[in-house]
Structure 1
Amino acid sequence: MKKHLLRLTPSWIVPFPRLRYNKKMVLLKTVQARYTATFVGFMALVIVLTVYGIGQFVSPRLTANDENMLTAKAADISNEIKTELARVQAQARVITELVPQLSSDDIDRLLPFMVNQYGEAKVFGGGIWPLPNVRTPGRAKHSTFYHRDASGKLIVNTHWNSPESLNYFEQGWHKGGLSAPAGQCAWAPAYQDAASPEPRTNCAMAISKDGQPWGVSTIDVTLGFFNTLVEAKEREVNARIMIIEADGKILSNVPGSSDKIVLRNVSELAAQSPFINGIKSALASKGTGTSRLTYQNSDGEESTLFLMPVAGTPWLLAVAQNTALLKSQSETVLNTLAWLQI
């Protein structure tokens, strides 16, 4: 019995099964580690590719969309300006078609009623400016011009018919009106004189009689309403906005500022304002369509500026917004997308 036990003992205590079990565990752990490492590496690659793809393809499109939304909202000002000017153009068409049918005395009598527009304050005045000798033979200057006085009433102004005045038919606005397509306004650059406390422009439109050039009609429009449009739109889009001419002449004041900068040039004020300096730079590099550039504000933050034309006019619209604010919506979308991918 003792010998039998001695024979059995060695086979019972031989650790071969345990060794095989340990080898299997080591192999299993090695495979798991490989799978884990492969999975982690794959996920890291996916994350890197996702971030790269978002940065290269998605982010630029979202940013462009944000920029398009800003310029589209700012362009509402252009649309409102064009609406106002279209009304003036329609009024001028009536005058240019009616005047050739009237006698000289009837022109003097009826013109104030054609210009008045029920006392519309934006319409500062208007006139007809015949070529030499066509209204009255032997008389070179025979215009009829009315403008509003301080009370808003239309009064006659005969200055341009006086001997000491310049020949109105040699002025740029008169030549521009004569050469404009029939029924279309030639808009004069903004100006201001003693007759009006506000800057203004005018629509000059050709008058023809019996198929021949007869003269030009004008309707003077004050530009004070630009300030109202700019102030309202700045509040809406949280951006800086200014209306200017191609030569840099400023046509709208800075909302909330007491400084009178209308009719001054951006080159005069560029050193005082990063925004105006940005406009100056945009004008220097302006091509056709909308221009885009960035500039540093006085606080060191970046702003993005767009310069776009107001179609059918000699004017341009500048709009600038803090770049971080401009991109805030797209950044939120990108962050959400990145977290969903992770």
Structure 2
Amino acid sequence: MTKPAPTIRHQIAVGFALVLVMALMTIFAVVEWKVKPDLITQRHEKITISQHGLLDLLNAKLGQVELLTSTMALTGTILPKDASLFRTTFPPILNNYGDPAIAGGGIWPEPEAFKKGVQRRSFFWGRSGKTMAYYDDYNQPEGNGYHNKSWYLAGKDASVGRCNWSNAYIDPYTKAPMITCTVPMKENERFVGVATVDMRLADISSILSQYGRENDGYVFALDADGKAISFPKSAIEFQPYRNTLRTREELERELPWLQHALKTSQDLTGSDLLKVENDGLFGEAAYVHLIKSPKTGWVIGWSSPRVK
């Protein structure tokens, strides 16, 4: 028995179905091959622009400390070499209107540069609430003297008015993470000592944390030596009694999803965009954009969810 010929209604339904399938396939192809790549490109461009914006924000903050240190260095070269004058002039400058980010700093003359026959004649102040307290510890005859400290030696080859930033460290007294800005002092082209300002990293960490939250991700930072300047508290456990900052190697063990990014940061010269298959904080795929600061040698990383 022969099959009845399809009705016109059935043929129309099949035709519509084929058209619908073709339309869906076309839409899928357009989304996958055109729309999605464009979205990813736009996302990458936004990340890059945002990272440069964050770098500008950090440079502005660091620039304030650089200006403060340069002011101290210049003042230290033009003031008469009078100890009482130094002890009354510099505390208000260093205090910077009670700025809590400024932990301390001082003037560190070369041997005999402040007074003939005197090898150690430093002027150092540390923050004490809203004021600065004077400390004479560095002038005591015990120890190697401040002239052999890395932050002092860094100023000998630095340009006048140019800050040489130290690597991050934990202050042995306050246990607070800090960095030090060193600016050389010169009189008639002769090196006569350095001025320093110690800056707490809590301010930098707050800027990075806020920036990450406002941009649907998180930000972390490593200094030029690979030590953690800032990381989300949700990523690593805070240990208040540590005497050193976390190293790159420690972070690689604690944050396995960031291992590749952390290793890449070691030899980074400009910027790089990496993919993470499963970010431990997002619980999904993510991008990590790394950028190196030419001013400090820091590497700033911004992690954000990947476009699906």
Q: Which category of TM-score, normalised to the shorter sequence, fits these structures? A: 0.7 to 0.9
Following the alignment from structure 2 to structure 1, what is the Cα–Cα distance between the partners of residues 157 and 171?
25
Q: Which amino acid aligns with 1:159?
A: D
The TM-score with structure 2 as length reference comes to 0.80
Q: Which structure is higher in strand share? A: 2
Deviations 1:242-283 (A, max 9, x none): 011133200114145782268111311322223442432322
Q: Tell me the equivalent position of 2:220.
A: 242
Identical amino acids, percent of aligned pairs:
23
Matched, 1:83 2:52: no
Q: Is the CA contact (8 Å cut-off) linking 1:282 and 1:292 kept in structure 2?
A: no
Q: Tell me the equivalent position of 2:263.
A: 281
Select the residue among 183, 188, 203 that pairs with 2:181: 203
Q: Tell me the equivalent position of 2:169.
A: 191
SS at match of 1:251: strand
SS at match of 1:281: helix
Matched, 1:71 2:52: no
Q: Tell me the equivalent position of 1:265.
A: 247
Select the residue among 304, 309, 324 that pairs with 2:287: 304
Instruction: State the 1:64 CA deviation.
Output: 2.6
Q: Tell me the equivalent position of 1:124.
A: 103
Q: Which moved more, 1:242-251 or 1:116-125?
A: 242-251
Deviations 1:95-124 (A, max 9, x none): 222211212322222111221111111111
Gaps of 5+ in 2: 1-14
Q: Is the CA contact (8 Å cut-off) linking 1:187 and 1:314 kept in structure 2?
A: no
Q: Which structure is higher in helix share? A: 1
Following the alignment from structure 1 to structure 2, what is the Cα–Cα distance between the partners of residues 250 and 310?
15
Q: Which moved more, 1:205-214 or 1:230-239?
A: 230-239
The TM-score with structure 1 as length reference comes to 0.73
Q: Tell me the equivalent position of 1:318.
A: 301
Aligned positions, number: 282
SS at match of 1:267: helix
Alignment of 1:46-195 (within 5 A): 51=29, 60-105=37-82, 106-149=85-128, 151-195=129-173
Instruction: State the 1:165 CA deviation.
Output: 2.9
Q: Is the CA contact (8 Å cut-off) linking 2:209 and 2:218 kept in structure 1?
A: no
SS at match of 1:138: coil
Following the alignment from structure 1 to structure 2, what is the Cα–Cα distance between the partners of residues 88 and 95?
11
CA RMSD in angstroms comes to 3.0
Following the alignment from structure 1 to structure 2, what is the Cα–Cα distance between the partners of residues 307 and 209?
41
